Amino acid sequence: MASTGERVLVAGANGGTGRELLAVLRPTDLEVRATTRSHANVDALERLGADEVAVVDFFRSADAVRAVEGCDIVCCALGAPPSPRHFLGGKLVDRTGVSNLVTAAIGAGVDRFVYQSAIGVGSSRKGMPLPGRLIVRGSLRAKGDSETTLRRSGLEYTIVRPGRLTDSPPSGEVLVGEGGDSVSGSIPRADVARVMAAAPFTPEARNRTLEVVSRDGLRGTPKHLAEIDWAVDRLGIEREAES
Ligand SMILES: NC(=O)c1ccc[n+]([C@@H]2O[C@H](COP(=O)([O-])OP(=O)(O)OC[C@H]3O[C@@H](n4cnc5c(N)ncnc54)[C@H](OP(=O)(O)O)[C@@H]3O)[C@@H](O)[C@H]2O)c1
């Protein structure tokens, strides 16, 4: 259980999942620092519940250091905007930016790091249909490199690999798989945010890589399901994310 006043960095807070994370963290006693690349988003993020907003570009390592300073927990929901780089690879925030953030987190003595990756990355490649996998193969490789960087970092981590993201309301019924070839399908960003917010307070999630889809969004037969007792009580929300 966290002590009152722990500070969480929501990296990529202006994105779809990032905004859901702000909503989930708002009623908690955690201090929330949000990041965005644009000053134009600061007021909106504060209205969504951020206690402070850092305007940063994670391609710059100094910005990553500034963002993470004084934080106990990092929830990383960064993702590259649409571009040919998703296919071609190269300089992507999914690799360079996340790497800068992990390095900064180590330097700042961060306790726990939650990384939003994707089903389709590494051992979970079969969980993403082949056409989609080809289109975003550059970013999948970049995310795979970031997963490896985080596992080797010495930080306590949870890697959350969601299926295809939707903007549906939270289902509260999350299926968790482990081992890559486990679950496939879709999941609301709001469900992903709940899992990510609960992960730092969930002992069973420590140093694990977990695939997540919603029960409604499940495609095919699940394999290798993991029993996780998510610490949703820590977040003050009513419906539980189920394993
Ligand atoms: N789409 C899917 O079906 C799917 C499935 C599984 C996993 N994912 C992954 O899940 C993650 C979250 O996805 P999402 O759609 O919820 O997010 P999103 O709306 O694409 O938001 C990503 C955020 O990353 C931030 N960002 C990008 N480059 C940055 C940089 N250089 N420095 C600082 N911030 C930067 C952006 O911030 P600003 O708005 O401030 O510019 C943006 O708000 C992504 O990694 C995505 O690839 C997606």
Domains contained in the chain, CATH given: 7-235 (3.40.50.720)
Contact criterion met (CB below 8 Å) for 58 and 115 = no
List the pLDDT tens digit at each of the 243 positions of the chain: 444 679 999 999 999 999 999 999 999 999 999 999 999 999 999 999 999 999 999 999 999 999 999 999 999 999 999 999 999 989 999 999 999 999 999 999 999 999 999 999 999 999 999 999 999 999 999 999 999 999 999 999 999 999 999 999 999 999 999 999 999 999 999 999 999 999 999 999 999 999 999 999 999 999 999 999 999 888 876 544 444
Ligand 1, atom 40: closest residue by C-alpha: 36
Top mutation candidate among 102, 116, 166, 192 for ligand 1, by most atoms within 8 Å of CB? 116
How far is residue 82 from each of residues 103, 136, 138, 141, measured CA to CA in Å? 26, 10, 12, 16
Instruction: Using the atom order of ligand 1, give the atom closest to the CA of residue 143.
Output: 45
How far is residue 184 from each of residues 28, 172, 177, 215, measured CA to CA in Å? 31, 17, 9, 10
Ligand 1, atom 25: closest residue by C-alpha: 12
Instruction: Using the atom order of ligand 1, give the atom closest to the CA of residue 139.
Output: 47
pTM score of the predicted model: 0.96
237 lines ligand 1 (CB under 6 A): no
pLDDT at 4: 60
| Nearby residues of 216 by Cβ (< 8 Å), 6 or more positions away | 171, 173
Nearest to 75 by CA among 30, 137, 107: 30
